[in-house]
Amino acid sequence: MGLTIVFGKEKGKVELKVFDMLGSEIATLVNEEQNVGHYEVTFDASALSSRVYLYTITSGSFMQTRKMLLMK
């Protein structure tokens, strides 16, 4: 599964994490300094069950959480 990510206006620390619906962290996909640009992250969900997960992207003061449906 691939996620395409676009990061904003300046270089900064970026975190991309996946959580289950109870708020438990499932995976940290990105946790590093990134330049501005487009990135693609591969998420190996082969060990996970089909269900709804949440992913959160944090960069500087920006934070966004979205739902992700995993279907096998």
Range of the domain at 24: 2-70
> Is the pLDDT reported for residue 39 higher than 90?
no
Mean pLDDT of 42-71: 93
Tens digits of per-residue pLDDT, 5-34?
555 566 789 999 999 999 999 999 999 998
5-21 as b/e, with b when 16 or more CB fall inside 10 Å?
A: bebeeeebebebbbbee
Output the domain CATH number for residue 55.
2.60.40.1930
More confident residue, 70 or 60: 70
Return the CA Rg of the chain: 12
pLDDT at 1: 54
**What is the count of structural domains for the chain?**
1
Please tell me which residue, 51 or 5, carries the higher pLDDT value. Answer: 51
CA geometry: angle at 4 spanning 14 and 17, to 5°?
A: 40
Instruction: With a cut of 80, say whether residue 72 has pLDDT above it.
Output: yes
49-51-56 Cα angle (round to 5): 105
